[in-house]
Amino acid sequence: MGWRGILGFEYGIVLAPMGSDVAGPELVATVANAGGLGLLRGPDWESPEYLKELIRKTRKMTDKPFGVGVLLVFPHKENIKAILQEKVAVLQVYGGECPKELVIEAHNAGVKVVPQVGSVEEAKKAIDVGVDAIIIQGREAGGHVAGQDGLISLLPRVVDLVGDCDIPIIAAGGIVDARGYVAALALGAKGICMGTRFLATHESYAHHTYKRNLIEYDKTEYTDVFGRAAWPAPHRVLRTPFLCDWKSLPEHENETNQPIIARSIIHGVEMEIPRFAVFVPNPTTTGEIESMALYAGSGVGLIKEILPAEEVVKRLVEGAQLLIQQTFGGESV
- H helix intervals, 87-177: 100-108, 120-128, 151-162
User: What is the predicted pLDDT for the residue at 2?
Assistant: 42
Percentage, residues of the chain above pLDDT 90: 92
Could you tell me the sign of the dihedral formed by the alpha carbons of 135, 42, 148, 184, in that order? Answer: positive
121, 174, 274, 286, 309 from 267: Cα distances, Å: 34, 27, 18, 16, 22
| Whether 131 contacts 104, CB under 8 Å | no
Query: Which residues, other chains included, contact 214 with Cβ-Cβ below 8 Å and sequence gap of 6+?
Result: 196, 199, 200, 238, 296, 300, 303
- Poorest-pLDDT segment among 149-158, 253-262, 315-324: 315-324
Strands (E), 46-133: 67-71, 90-94, 112-117
The confidence band for 83, taking pLDDT boundaries of 50, 70 and 90, is very high
Query: Which phi and psi (to 5°) does residue 116 adopt?
Result: -105, 130
Is residue 309's pLDDT more than 50? yes
Residue 238 CA to residue 278 CA, distance in Å, equals 14
pTM above 0.85, yes or no: yes
Say if residue 34's pLDDT is above 70: yes
How far apart are the C-alpha atoms of 87 and 93, rounded to whole Å? Answer: 15
Three-class secondary structure assignment of 16-38? CCCCCCCCCHHHHHHHHHCCCEE
Q: What average pLDDT does the structure give for the chain?
A: 95
| CA distance linking residue 42 with residue 76, whole number of Å | 10
Exposure string for 279-298, b = 16+ CB within 10 A, e = fewer: bbbbeebeeebbbbbbbbbb
Q: Decide if pLDDT at 51 tops 70.
A: yes
pLDDT at 333: 45
Neighbours of 319 (CB within 10 A): 15
Q: What is the mean predicted confidence (pLDDT) over 171-200?
A: 96
Distance CA(99)–CA(147), nearest Å, equals 19
C-alpha angle 179-184-187 in degrees, rounded to nearest 5: 125
Compute the distance between CA of residue 203 and CA of residue 30 in angstroms, rounded to an integer. Answer: 8
pLDDT of residue 224: 96
Q: 73 pLDDT band (50/70/90 cuts)?
A: very high
Q: Determine which of 2-6, 262-266, 310-314 has the lowest per-residue pLDDT on average.
A: 2-6
- Average pLDDT, stretch 313-320? 94
Band of residue 227 on the pLDDT scale cut at 50, 70, 90: very high
Percentage of residues in the chain with pLDDT exceeding 70? 96
pLDDT reading at 326 higher than 60: yes
Mean pLDDT value of segment 55-77: 97
Greatest pairwise CA separation for the chain in angstroms: 59
DSSP state of 134: E
